[in-house]
Amino acid sequence: MSYILSIVKADYLQRTRSYAFLIALAVTIYVAYLFVPPHHAMYSTLSATGFKGAYNSAWIGYVSALMTTVMLSFYGFLLVNNSIKKDIDTEVGLIIATTPISNFTYLLSKQLSNYLVLCTIVVCTFLVSLVMFYVRGAGYSFILSDFILPYLFFAFPALFVVAALAVVAEVFLGKRNVLQFITYFFLCGIVMSQIATKGNDIPTGFNDPFGLSLVTSSVKNHINTTYHQDIKQLSFGFIFSPQKPFKIFTWNGIDWTGIFIFSRLVWMTFALGLVYFSSFFFHRFDFKQVVRKKKKLMKQFQENQESIISSGGINTASLPPIVTNYSISPFIKTELLLMLRHGNKWVWLLNACLWVAMFLVPYTIAYSYLLPILLFLQVKRWSDLTTKEKTNRLHYFTYASYRPLIRMLPAQILAGILLAIVLSLPLMLRSVFLLNIAAVLNIMNGAVLIVLLATTLGIVSGSSKLYEIFFFLLTYCVLNKLPVTDYLGSMHHGNEHTLTFIILGINIILAATGFLVRSYQTRHL
Amino acid sequence: MTLEIKGLTKQYNSQKTGLSDYSITIDKGILGLLGPNGAGKSTLMKIIATISKPTKGSVFLDGKDIVSNPDFIRKILGYLPQDFGVYPNLNAYEFLTYIAAMKGVGGKGLRQRIDMLLEGVNLTADAKMPIGTYSGGMKQRIGIAQALLNDPKVLIFDEPTVGLDPEERVRFRQLIAELANDCIIILSSHIVSDIETIADEVAIMQSGKLITKGDQQDIIRQAMGQIYEVVLNHNEVGDFKMRYKVIDTSRQNDRMRVRYINKDTETVPGSTAISATLEDAYLLLTLNNA
């Protein structure tokens, strides 16, 4: 047991001592602040048409806990799904593989460290929710259990499952991050739709890892009974809508049932079972399957090894004369090549399908849904743009190269933008045919934005994770029609030009920040 | 061509100093850097390679300050870092073309240059394989090839022989001996024999400071008369190590032959004074300055 704790502790410290984690924490704290909007705000987090909850302890505690649970279940997965990968990259895994630690113990320790990372964030949002009670102060009495219990029974069990799923995804899908994301969010989508389609029965929690149905059902029943309404569904999440008249109702929380608490234990046991099951398939850092796939390649490689003819070294005098060429096109070519070869080839097939579909489906669908999804599928390619040098320990060469700042970095940015524009081409062509030049400009502006976000966040945080989480949240918001996140300009705004200029301004700030920080980094290794 | 380093200090934080008021002048030829871990060898090399800025001091290449004008040296620099990496999805050709672009090397002759360099480091047969499939030694050889892409006039090799097999080590030594005719080569290694074989001059460093610099014979001379050998029983060795700095031990029948440093005038009974090597001198000098 003590060595599990040692592994968990080391892993936890290693992951939390990074800028990426600190920035993610800071963003989470800000988002937690948004969980409890003022009643006159243009958005709500949990509401029914014409009704809003009074800001008593129960409302703030439960809503904060639920929002934390659901939001963190989504992006928390992205935050922690690289614990085994880290051991592969650093080759610590090879050392671990030679120790007596069992596969299950190793995976369990990874799950627990994932869980600790997520719990750290949960504790922060919990503290913010306490502060929010006084910030939104509506004169209600403070009841601590209204804060503690929902966090205890919603957030902590749900994130235990998320931590386990991150490990399981790494075991079964290896380094195929995009496939991991897709599978995970597909599963989440199924669970969320199950929760949404649940009837009027009192939820037991067995089909709801988040505990969301318990609260929504209680609030809905409370409104329907108190105000003689027939509300079928509540809206949950960051829902933006124009201000309409509303009534404020007082909701005092739920009665915790034994069956619900038992369902949390069942979910946690299920998570442990998944980790145990996956331990039978864990590669233990012996990548036989990779070798098998590359058997032909390796055979050729061995033949080559045998046929090496020792040469007489390098005669520098006979080398062709040096021709200087400071163009950035070779970098752009290599960056494109690296992006092309990055990740699984099946994702390219998916890309191709979506790309073709953008010609065929209705224009608004292509613009509002297919393009954001297609762009998000490239998240790993872009998140690696400025972090791969360090990950692959190649930064010694790039930083010591001739004028890295005005050659390397622009090439990386341009290659990223080129990929984004090629992917957006069907929609841009359709926009041109529709004489919608503003859309073309907005798409290009958006393409530049996501690439600059990738390069700048990568440079500043030194990790690809922050961008991956940010881009995920951005895509999530765009798909949910959150106007403020409309980086591609697919939604209707009051003033189209304002959006274009705002994004342009953000792009300039991002580019300047990226160049400034990289300029410092190139001389301070 | 002369590289002049004056009063170089690198302070990482209040507790950690990489270099402390370090000055040295390096001319054409091979300078071997010796020093224990943390002596500041890599820090010095990084500063010369312009990827780390000194807290104080300056570095001049032919009179031009490369701290404030790093691009001056970058065009003629070949650098092989200690723990460099590669892009595993690229093959050797693609990787070297990429590095050539970083160095501003292109044109029609580039492909031929890469071919010849790959042949020179024995990688022609595997040049089209992804570098991710290479062994440690092969990656190291790719590293050596990239350092030579731009016909460098200043070459910095940080632990270049790590991962090379004995045959490759010999080839590497021959290679840099050829290159030393018209460029500055700075080479750090923990393997004293590598330095001993090829370095024209040796600089010994410790705790960010230069202890000594000179040709090998000058340095070896400093250890003359202080290196001894004695044959001991196994059970005597432990106690002996407590009193003397032991350089080496080897088995001799049932006893142990011990090579050690003795700075006292009084000799251990049974000891014989032997001629010093560069390794002996290095150990003695670092011991004196510990």
Give pLDDT, residue B161: 84
Dist CA A179 CA A351 (whole Å): 12
Q: Could you read off the pLDDT of B193-226 as tens digits, one per residue?
A: 888 888 999 999 999 999 999 999 999 999 888 9
SS3 A521: helix
Place of tokens 């943390």: B38
Among chain B residues, the shortest Cα distance to A525 is held by B52
pLDDT bracket for residue A203 (50, 70, 90): confident
Average pLDDT over every residue of B110-136: 90
- Residue B231 touches chain A, beta carbons under 8 Å: no
Dist CA B277 CA B247 (whole Å): 11
Q: Is the pLDDT of residue A197 over 90?
A: no
CB contact under 8 A, A330 and B175: no
Residue A461 φ/ψ, nearest 5 degrees: -90, -20
| Nearest CB neighbour to B98, from listed A334, A402, A523 | A334
| Residue extents of the structural domains in chain A | 2-279, 329-523
**Measured between alpha carbons, how far apart are the two ends of chain B, in Å?**
34
Burial of A243 (0-12, 13-18, 19+ CB in 10 A): exposed
| b/e B259-268 (16+ beta carbons within 10 angstroms → b) | bbbbeeeeee
Please indicate, yes or no, whether the overall pTM of this predicted structure exceeds 0.80: no
Among chain B residues, the shortest Cα distance to A295 is held by B133
SS3 A426: helix
CB contact under 8 A, A314 and B116: yes
What's the half-sphere exposure (Cβ side, CA atoms, 13 Å) at B179? 33
B24: which strand partners? Answer: B5
Q: How far is B83 from chain A (nearest CA, A)?
A: 7
Average pLDDT over every residue of B172-180: 84
Q: Could you read off the pLDDT of A269-307 as tens digits, one per residue?
A: 999 999 999 999 998 887 654 444 455 555 555 545 444
SS3 A95: helix
- Is A45:A37 a contact under the CB 8 Å cutoff? yes
Q: Is the pLDDT of residue B191 over 90?
A: no
Give pLDDT, residue A504: 93
- Residue B117 touches chain A, beta carbons under 8 Å: yes
In chain B, which residues have their Cβ closer than 8 Å to the Cβ of A334? 90, 94, 97-98, 101
| b/e A215-241 (16+ beta carbons within 10 angstroms → b) | bbbbbbebbeeeeeeeeeebebbbbbe
List of E strands, chain B: 2-11, 17-27, 29-34, 56-61, 64-65, 77-80, 105-106, 154-158, 184-188, 201-206, 209-215, 227-232, 245-252, 255-261, 272-273
Of the listed ranges A28-32, A244-248, A459-463, the one predicted with least confidence: A244-248
Residue at B260: amino acid letter: Y
- Is A168:A282 a contact under the CB 8 Å cutoff? no
- Can you spell out the DSSP letters for A260-323? HHHHHHHHHHHHHHHHHHHHTT--TT--HHHHHHTHHHHHHHHHHHHT--------GGGSPPPE
Closest alpha carbon to B47 in A525, A402, A405, A521: A525
CB contact under 8 A, A323 and B106: yes
Helix (H) or strand (E) holding A45: strand A43-47
Average pLDDT over every residue of A129-151: 91
Among chain A residues, the shortest Cα distance to B95 is held by A334
Among chain A residues, the shortest Cα distance to B149 is held by A322
Reading the block at residue A257, the tokens are 């049932």
- Is A50:A228 a contact under the CB 8 Å cutoff? no
Place of tokens 């200029």: A501
B229: which strand partners? Answer: B259, B272
**Mean pLDDT, rounded, of chain A:** 86
The two counts, helices (H) then strands (E), for chain A are: 24, 5
Residues 10-69 (B) with a CB less than 8 A from some CB of A: 46, 49-53
Q: How far is A454 from chain B (nearest CA, A)?
A: 19
Distances from the Cα of A5 to the Cαs of A2, A18, A33, A110, in angstroms? Answer: 5, 21, 33, 11
Q: How far is A448 from chain B (nearest CA, A)?
A: 24
Among chain A residues, the shortest Cα distance to B67 is held by A523
Q: Could you read off the pLDDT of B55-92 as tens digits, one per residue?
A: 999 999 999 999 999 888 988 999 998 888 888 888 99
pLDDT bracket for residue B262 (50, 70, 90): confident
In chain A, which residues have their Cβ closer than 8 Å to the Cβ of B53? 523-524
Give pLDDT, residue A373: 93
Highest mean pLDDT among A313-317, A452-456, B231-235: A452-456
Q: How far is B279 from chain A (nearest CA, A)?
A: 28
Give pLDDT, residue A309: 39
**Mean pLDDT, rounded, of chain B:** 89
By percentage, how much of chain A surpasses pLDDT 70? 92
Dist CA A151 CA A64 (whole Å): 8
- Residue A399 touches chain B, beta carbons under 8 Å: yes
